[in-house]
Structure 1
Amino acid sequence: MTLKSLEYFKKLAELQHFTKAANELHISQPSLSYAISELEKDLGVPLFDRKDKKITLNYYGEAFLSYVNQSLSILDEGLNFVKHISNPKSKNISMGYIQSLSSSIIPPFIEEFYKNPLNKNIKFSFTQKDNNELIKIFLDRKLDIIFCVDAVKGAISQAIGEQELCFVVSKEHYLCKKENIKLKDLENENFLLINPGTNLRKTIDKNFKRLKFNPKVTLELGQCSNILIYVEKNLGISIVPKVDIMSHPLSEKLQIINVKNLDLKRTIYVNWFPSKNENLTLKYIKNFIEDFFLK
C-alpha cells in the first residue's frame, strides 16, 4: 500500500470510471487497474463492484474512503505546514502576558519551543502589561495570544496552572519572628495593596470578605514591584504573587510569612480567539501550548 495507491483510489471512487480517473491522474488505465488491484490484495477485500465495465463503490470501499480522505487531508495539512514554517518569512506571532509571568511561565515555554529546529523561523513579539490593559489590547485584536488571570469572554480560554499569593513583610518587621500567625493577628497592620479593580485585588478582597476580615489599607499602587519597595521600607504588609517576591531585586530583604489556614491562589489562563481560516503558524503554536502546559 502506497500513498499513490490511496490517491488513485480516492480519484477512482470520486469518478467511478477507470478511463476518466486515469486521464485525470495522468497515468495509463492498466497502471490504474494494477494499483487498485494491489490495494485490494493488501486489504483482502474488493473495494468496488464491477459489472459490465461499470464500477461502483461497495460497502468496504465506502468505509475505507472516509479514512483515506481523513489521512490524505491530515498529510496535506502537514506538508503545507512544514513548507510554511521552513519559509523565513513565516508570520510573526504577537503574544502578551502579565508581569508576574515574565520569569515563571514564559521563559521555559519559549526555551522549549525553540529546542525544535523546525521552529527557528517562527518569531514572537511580546507585550507585557497589567491584566486589565492586556485584555483590552487583546479584545482590540492587537494580540494573537495572551497569558493572564482571566478567562476572557468571547475567547477560547484554558486554565494552565495556578499562581501562589503570599503575605510579605520586611525582614525588619516583628512578624518575621512570629510563629502560628492568624489572620486576626493582622487586624492592626498597615496593608499596602495593589489598586482596586485589578484581578489581584479582586482575589484578595474576595478572600478577605469570605473570612470577614477588613484590612487597614494605607497605600494602593499599580505595580507589585513598587509595592515591594515600600514593604522593604517596613511601611506595612502586602499580598503579592510569590514569583514577584522571589524575582524582586530586594528579595533578600523581604520575608514571606505564613498565615494559618489561609492558602491564596489564582488561576492562570491562556486565551486566543477562535478562527475558521486560521494561520498555520498560529494553529501550530496553539497546539504546542496545549501540549506544553496541559499534557
Structure 2
Amino acid sequence: MTLKSLKYFSKIAELQHFTKAANDLYISQPSLSYAISELEKELGVILFDRDDKKVKLTHYGEIFLPYVNKALAILSEGEKILKEEASVKHSETISIGHIQSLSSTLIPSLIENFYQDPLNQNILFSFSQKDNDNLVKAFLNKKFDIIFTVEEVKNAITYPVARQDLSLVVASNHPFTSKKKVSLKELENENFILINPETNLRKIIDKEFKNLNFKPKIYLEMSSCINILTYVEKNFGISIIPKVDILDSKKSVVPIEIENLVLNRIIYANWFPPQKENISLKKVKNFINTFFYIEN
C-alpha cells in the first residue's frame, strides 16, 4: 500500500469516475485502474462497483474512505508544518520590549524554556528595556513585535502572563527589620520615597492607600525603582516597589509585609493582530499562550 494508491482511491471516490480521476491526477486511466486493482488485492476486498458510466464505493470502500481521507489530511498537515519549520531558518529577528522588573525573572525564564525545543533554536531575539509608558509608545510606532507591560494596550491582543508582587522596603538598619509585618498606623510618620505619580506602579499604590484611607508622607518622588532603592538604603525613607527589584538588588535593604494589605500587579504580553506574520513570530506567540498561567 502506497501513499499514491491512497490518493488515487480518494480521488476516484470523490469523482465517482475513473477517467475524470485519471485526468485530475495526470495519469493514464489504465495506470489508475491497475493501481486500484493492486490496492484491492492487498486489502483482500473490492473497493468499487464498476460500470461503464459510473463508479460507486462498495460497502468495504465506504468503511475504508474516512480512514484514508483522515490519513491524507494528517500527512498534508505534517508536510505544511515541516515546510514552516524549514522556513524558520530564514526568519527575521523577533523584537521584544519589557519593563525593567522583568529582566531577571520572566524574560530569562521565557527564553530558556522556549529554546528547550530544538526546533526553536534558529529563532533569534532582540531585547529592549524601557519604562512602561515609553515601551507602549514604541510599540504603537511598530518598534516591537511583542511587549511585556503592566497594562493592556488598546487595539492590541493582550495576554496576562504573570502576577508581580509589590512590597514595602526599608534600609537594613531600620527599626522595622525586627518585625515580620508592620501596620499602616506604624507607617504614618515615615517618609515615603515613591515612584512618579504618572506611572502605573504609583497608581496602584495610591489606589490601595486611598481604599484604606491612608495618606503617606511623601518625601521624594523618583522615576526609577533602582534610584529609589539607593535612597532607601541610605535611610532617607521607605518605599513600595516590585519585590523582585528588592531581591535582585545588592543593596542593604529589606522587604517587609504590611498588615491587611496585599499589593500586586498583572504583567501583560501585547502584540498586534497578525497581517503577514512570519512563522517565527507565530511560534513565539503560541509559546507565550501555553507557557504562562495565572491562577485566579
TM-score range, shorter chain: 0.7 to 0.9
Partner of 1:74: 77
Q: Considering only aligned residues, what root-mean-square deviation do their CA atoms show, in Å? A: 3.2
Partner of 2:202: 201
1:134-213 equivalences in 2 (<5 Å)? 134-213=135-214
Indicate if the aligned counterparts of 2:158 and 2:270 stay in contact, CA closer than 8 A.
yes
Identity %: 57
Distance in 2 between residues matched to 1:36 and 1:181, nearest whole Å: 83
Deviation at 1:124, TM superposition (A): 0.6
Could you tell me which amino acid in structure 1 is paired with residue 213 of structure 2? K
Distance in 1 between residues matched to 2:12 and 2:143, nearest whole Å: 47
Give the match's secondary structure for 2:207: helix
Worse-superposed segment, 184-193 or 15-24 = 15-24
In structure 2, relative to structure 1, the CA distance for the partners of 1:36 and 1:278 (3 Å cut) is farther
Could you tell me which amino acid in structure 2 is paired with residue 205 of structure 1? D
Indicate if the aligned counterparts of 1:6 and 1:68 stay in contact, CA closer than 8 A.
no
Indicate if the aligned counterparts of 1:194 and 1:227 stay in contact, CA closer than 8 A.
yes
Distance in 2 between residues matched to 1:167 and 1:263, nearest whole Å: 11
Indicate if the aligned counterparts of 1:47 and 1:60 stay in contact, CA closer than 8 A.
no
Distance in 2 between residues matched to 1:54 and 1:262, nearest whole Å: 78
Q: With structure 1 as the length reference, what TM-score do the two structures score?
A: 0.84
Worse-superposed segment, 271-280 or 16-25 = 16-25
1:69-148 equivalences in 2 (<5 Å)? 71=74, 74-85=77-88, 88-148=89-149
Cα displacement string for residues 57-84 of structure 1 (whole angstroms, at most 9, x for unaligned residues): 9998997798578535533430221211
Could you tell me which amino acid in structure 1 is paired with residue 131 of structure 2? D
In structure 2, relative to structure 1, the CA distance for the partners of 1:125 and 1:27 (3 Å cut) is same
Indicate if the aligned counterparts of 2:10 and 2:65 stay in contact, CA closer than 8 A.
no
Could you tell me which amino acid in structure 2 is paired with residue 275 of structure 1? P
Distance in 2 between residues matched to 1:102 and 1:203, nearest whole Å: 21
Deviation at 1:39, TM superposition (A): 7.7
In structure 2, relative to structure 1, the CA distance for the partners of 1:256 and 1:294 (3 Å cut) is closer
Could you tell me which amino acid in structure 2 is paired with residue 117 of structure 1? P
Q: Which has the larger radius of gyration?
A: 2
Give the match's secondary structure for 1:263: coil
1:242-261 equivalences in 2 (<5 Å)? 242-250=243-251, 253-261=252-260
Indicate if the aligned counterparts of 1:45 and 1:60 stay in contact, CA closer than 8 A.
no
Could you tell me which amino acid in structure 1 is paired with residue 54 of structure 2? K
Could you tell me which amino acid in structure 2 is paired with residue 93 of structure 1? I
Partner of 1:281: 280
Give the match's secondary structure for 2:258: coil
Indicate if the aligned counterparts of 1:10 and 1:68 stay in contact, CA closer than 8 A.
no
Cα displacement string for residues 186-235 of structure 1 (whole angstroms, at most 9, x for unaligned residues): 11111111111211111111111111111111111111111111110101
Indicate if the aligned counterparts of 1:10 and 1:69 stay in contact, CA closer than 8 A.
no
Distance in 1 between residues matched to 2:135 and 2:234, nearest whole Å: 30
Distance in 1 between residues matched to 2:37 and 2:290, nearest whole Å: 41
Deviation at 1:4, TM superposition (A): 3.7
Unaligned runs of 5+ in 1: none
Deviation at 1:41, TM superposition (A): 9.9
Partner of 2:291: 292
Q: How many residues are treated as equivalent by the alignment?
A: 291
Deviation at 1:56, TM superposition (A): 7.2
Deviation at 1:266, TM superposition (A): 0.8
Give the match's secondary structure for 1:153: coil
Q: Do residues 225 (structure 1) and 226 (structure 2) align?
A: yes
Distance in 1 between residues matched to 2:40 and 2:99, nearest whole Å: 58
Distance in 2 between residues matched to 1:41 and 1:184, nearest whole Å: 89
Distance in 2 between residues matched to 1:266 and 1:158, nearest whole Å: 14
Distance in 2 between residues matched to 1:11 and 1:27, nearest whole Å: 12
